[in-house]
Amino acid sequence: MSVFLPRGDAVVTEARVMRIATGETRQITTWFVGGWFNCPWCGAANPPEAQHCDNPACWASKHATAEHVRAEQDRRAREAAEREQRLRAAEAQAAGQQRYQEQRAALWAERVATATERGACLTCLRRSRWETEPRYRRHRRTDFHTAKA
């Protein structure tokens, strides 16, 4: 006989576990009035006396075989590893992109410093292939670009 301790709408009984075909167990943590509980493997509601989960797709279902559960566990582990790998790749790509942007910004700052030193035009510099062939041009008129437009 279980002893139900009311806690609001939920009740807690003695520690009980749900076993799956491989022998692994999980403790039942969610109890309801009358001793109903949520399966710790799939979350499905089960009646008080249930030893197996009512959800036929659940690993704790009486239909689940150890072989099936292990195959499923392997598949999930594989998928998790693949997700992890994709995440790492995306992070590496983002870091590379970030590094590239930073280097480009630093190089531009260098070019601007050189241009300023020489009194050269930043508009011309910007329009040139400033990464590899920066163009430092001095104009006699300060409105050289705007005057032409």
Report the interface residues with Zn ion, using CB under 5 A. 39, 41-42, 44, 53, 55, 58, 60, 121, 123-124
Residues with Cβ within 8 Å of 88's Cβ and at least 6 positions away in sequence, in order, are none
Closer to Zn ion by CB, 41 or 130: give it. 41
Question: Looking at beta carbons only, is 11 or 124 nearer to Zn ion?
Answer: 124
CA distance 20 to 59: 6
What's the min distance (Å) between Cβ of 91 and Zn ion? Answer: 35
Report the alpha-carbon distance of residue 8 to residue 104 in Å, rounded. 61
Token duo for residue 105: 């910004």
Provide, rounded to whole angstroms, the least separation between the CB of residue 75 and Zn ion. Answer: 18
- 12 vs 42, which CB is nearer to Zn ion? 42
Cα separation, 131 vs 141, in Å, equals: 26
Cβ contacts of 68 within 8 Å, gap of 6 or more: 21
Residue 4 or 135: the one with the smaller Cβ distance to Zn ion is 135
Minimum CB distance to Zn ion, residue 88 (Å): 32
**What is the closest distance, in whole angstroms, from the C-beta atom of residue 57 to Zn ion in the complex?**
8
